[in-house]
């Protein structure tokens, strides 16, 4: 499963790229608004920085507007993916854009029937928002499970990109179900690295090493410069 960073924060994106933790990035108007900088410049920087797919969301809601914005977004780079809302105008635009070979991501998906329609429109990615479903007492992961089953049983080439992730278990469950990608907020990626036994284990190794140095009467670091 590919992991995308769900952020428009360039420092965070750089950090995770350097660790090999992410394969791409997803942005949206809310994430760009948090950066409080010119969104077009920020998006351009992210598309240049990231070797993998970068989703950039349209603001228009009418068909012509979505197609027009989508074409300009696609010109940002081969890795730019046009994010369009799960509406009738959005899917009509996705169909037109995908016919021109432009990559698309249908966002704000909350049900398997929406996933099916978005895939039939030719979307490259479909993004179910599982955390927001969990927030209202529904089972977000069930939309992932059912959408994947629909895609597989109907030979639909669309990739399922799990979004609105709240914690590492969402990522692990998505990977176990065979989702193609998950877009994960930076704080959740950080949590995926952590385990208390890793921290205490490292501390113990270093403490024991220091103890040995004391026994030998000098600090030992044979492999350091
Ligand atoms: O890409 C945005 C999507 O992941 C939404 O997340 O946390 O706003 O529900 P959230």
Nearest CA to ligand 1 atom 4: 164
Q: How far is CA 43 from the centre of its chain?
A: 15
On whether both 203 and 129 belong to a single domain, the answer is no
For tokens 């490292």, what's the residue?
202
What is the pTM assigned to this prediction?
A: 0.94
pLDDT digit string, tens, across residues 158-171: 999 999 999 999 99
On whether both 95 and 166 belong to a single domain, the answer is yes
Collapsing DSSP to helix, strand or coil, 67 comes out as helix
The preferred substitution site among 129, 184, 185 for testing ligand 1, maximizing ligand atoms within 8 Å of CB, is 129
On whether both 77 and 57 belong to a single domain, the answer is yes
The preferred substitution site among 29, 58, 131 for testing ligand 1, maximizing ligand atoms within 8 Å of CB, is 131
pLDDT digit string, tens, across residues 92-128: 999 999 999 999 999 999 999 999 999 999 999 999 9
Nearest CA to ligand 1 atom 6: 164
On whether both 73 and 96 belong to a single domain, the answer is yes
* Confidence check: pLDDT of 83 > 80: yes
The preferred substitution site among 163, 171, 184, 187 for testing ligand 1, maximizing ligand atoms within 8 Å of CB, is 163
Q: Where are the alpha helices (DSSP H) in 9-139?
A: 10-18, 29-35, 39-49, 63-74, 88-99, 112-120, 130-135
On whether both 142 and 210 belong to a single domain, the answer is no
pLDDT of residue 224: 82
- Point out the residues that are catalytic: 83
Tell me how crowded residue 40 is: count the other CB atoms within 10 A of its CB.
12
Collapsing DSSP to helix, strand or coil, 24 comes out as strand
pLDDT confidence band for 147 (50 / 70 / 90): very high
* Confidence check: pLDDT of 225 > 80: no
On whether both 134 and 214 belong to a single domain, the answer is no
* Confidence check: pLDDT of 138 > 90: yes
Contact yes or no for 150/115 (Cβ under 8 A): yes
4 lines ligand 1 (CB under 6 A): no
Rounded distance from Cα 110 to ligand 1 centre (Å): 12
pLDDT digit string, tens, across residues 23-73: 999 999 999 999 999 999 999 999 999 999 999 999 999 999 999 999 999
Rounded distance from Cα 52 to ligand 1 centre (Å): 20
pLDDT of residue 220: 84
pLDDT of residue 77: 98
Determine the structural domain holding residue 210 and report its residue range.
195-225
> Does 219 or 191 have the greater pLDDT score?
191
- Kindly state the percentage of the chain with pLDDT values over 90: 96
Rounded distance from Cα 125 to ligand 1 centre (Å): 15
Rounded distance from Cα 68 to ligand 1 centre (Å): 24
On whether both 204 and 221 belong to a single domain, the answer is yes
pLDDT digit string, tens, across residues 173-188: 999 999 999 999 999 9
pLDDT of residue 196: 95
Q: How many domains does the chain have?
A: 2
Contact yes or no for 162/144 (Cβ under 8 A): yes
Rounded distance from Cα 149 to ligand 1 centre (Å): 23
6 lines ligand 1 (CB under 6 A): yes
On whether both 82 and 94 belong to a single domain, the answer is yes
């Amino acid at each position: 499963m590919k992991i995308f960073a769900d952020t428009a924060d360039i420092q965070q994106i750089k950090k995770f790229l350097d660790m090999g933790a992410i394969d791409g990035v997803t942005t949206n108007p809310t994430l760009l608004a948090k950066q409080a900088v010119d969104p077009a410049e920020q998006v351009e920087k992210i598309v240049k920085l990231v070797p993998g797919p970068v989703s950039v969301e349209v603001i228009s809601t009418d068909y012509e507007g979505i197609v027009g914005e989508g074409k300009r977004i696609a010109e940002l780079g081969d890795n730019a993916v046009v994010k369009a809302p799960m509406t009738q105008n959005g899917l009509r635009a996705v169909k037109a854009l995908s016919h021109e070979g432009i990559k698309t991501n249908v966002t704000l998906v909350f049900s398997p029937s929406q996933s099916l329609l978005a895939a039939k429109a030719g979307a490259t990615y479909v993004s179910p928002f599982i955390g927001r479903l969990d927030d209202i007492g529904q089972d977000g992961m069930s939309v992932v499970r059912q959408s994947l089953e629909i895609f597989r049983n109907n030979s639909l080439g669309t990739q399922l990109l799990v979004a609105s992730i709240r914690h590492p278990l969402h990522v692990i469950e998505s990977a176990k179900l065979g989702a193609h990608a998950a877009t994960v907020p930076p704080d959740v990626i950080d949590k995926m690295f952590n385990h208390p036994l890793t921290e205490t284990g490292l501390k113990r190794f270093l403490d024991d090493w220091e103890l040995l140095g004391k026994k030998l009467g000098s600090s030992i670091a044979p492999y350091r410069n």
